[in-house]
Amino acid sequence: MKSIIMLCTLFFSLSFTAFAASEPLSYGESRTVKSKLLGQEKAIQIHIPADTGHPKQKFPVLYLLHGQWDMLPAVATLDLIATRVPDFMVVGIDSRGVELNVGEGEDRFAAFLEKELFPLIEREYPAADFRILSGHSHAGKYVMQQWLSDALPVSRYFAFSPSLDDGVILDRVRALPKATLAKRKPLALTMASEGDHMYTPYSKLDTILDASEPLQYVSRHFPEETHRSTKHPSMKFALQASFPEWAPSGDVKMSGAAGLKQHYTMLSARYGLDALPSVEMLQQITARYSVGGSPAWHAKLEPMFDYALHDLRVPPAPFVEIVDYLTDNGYADASALYLNALCRTEKSIERCESVSED
């Protein structure tokens, strides 16, 4: 019994790496985009999530302004909260100066995003059309401007410690009817310890937006953070607040294939994303079923294999790996039970030739 408990703990530990070898964090590729609308080349960085086991999966995209400074903090934050939110592509955009200023370059830069960058990313990379525009400081103010204009084809907006001290954003919000504000896209807004010149307009803005139901709006003041250090906690807060139910609970994982499928079907419908359980999660769940002493748990193996192999089109190889893992770690009975259930689900697996019919 003690050994089973220890194994169960291992399966659900975040440090569990037997099923997926650890890899160094990759921040992405760098390239330039020649923009006709901007009349210049624009440097971008692109981070693609690690292999989830679903080769045709498309990922939501976090478009990050000030990419020349903020790309690494964003990717590192996503790594910290992996499995709690969707796997995101991140596109960091070198952006600064006039192009983000109100009334100067803002319209041309928005046109560049919509007409050149978004189509390029979705044409050349595994990108879904679920887009988040995120910015910090001066870029955060630009995000607020675009959120108010409501012209970009963006799903959500993140504005971290935006420059509010000139009153422009607050005045624009005050000028809009409450019913109009309520129809804007979801917004996450944060503020660090910036002094009264920033906190006062933020507080007034927060009061107005918080009352603009049914607007999907979340905010957080980080008085313990500086303007620079707020990037990590702000991104973590915004992502988790935007996807609060993304990760299935332990009960859902252990409930069986029907419960897990229902969870991801709900997520897909709610967010307009192709939400899928990672293959690593499916490996962990099925391994847990096999070492459990209850016949009821063993009976959940075949439906879960059916969901994985036939509904999700996961190849059998990752599950065959678990057969060997269990054997190598002293769980021969669980390994035999696991392989038998796998072969009853998919007889074409080569290893099944040596498995006798029950």
Tens-place pLDDT, residues 253-303: 999 999 999 999 999 999 999 999 999 999 999 999 999 778 999 999 999
Task: Read off the tokens for 155.
Answer: 């799903």
How many other β-carbons are positioned within 10 Å of the β-carbon of residue 283? 23
CATH 3.30.230.10 matches 21-242: no
How many other β-carbons are positioned within 10 Å of the β-carbon of residue 126? 16
Note the pLDDT of residue 103: 62
Amino acid letter at 186? P
Task: Read off the tokens for 313.
Answer: 């089109």
Task: Read off the tokens for 43.
Answer: 């440097």
Note the pLDDT of residue 292: 78
Which residues of the chain have a pLDDT value below 50? Answer: 1-20, 25, 104-105, 358
**pTM greater than the 0.95 cutoff:** no
What is the residue extent of each domain of the chain? 21-242, 250-354
Place of tokens 């006709």: 36
| C-alpha span between 106 and 102 (Å, rounded) | 6
Note the pLDDT of residue 10: 41
Note the pLDDT of residue 110: 93
Amino acid letter at 19? F
Q: Decide the pairing of beta strands 127-136 and 156-160.
A: parallel
Residues whose CB falls within 8 Å of the CB of residue 233, separated by 6 or more in sequence, listed in order: 190, 222, 225
CB 159 within 8 A of CB 143: yes
CA 170 to chain CA centroid, Å, is: 30
| C-alpha span between 331 and 236 (Å, rounded) | 39
Q: Decide the pairing of beta strands 187-192 and 217-222.
A: parallel
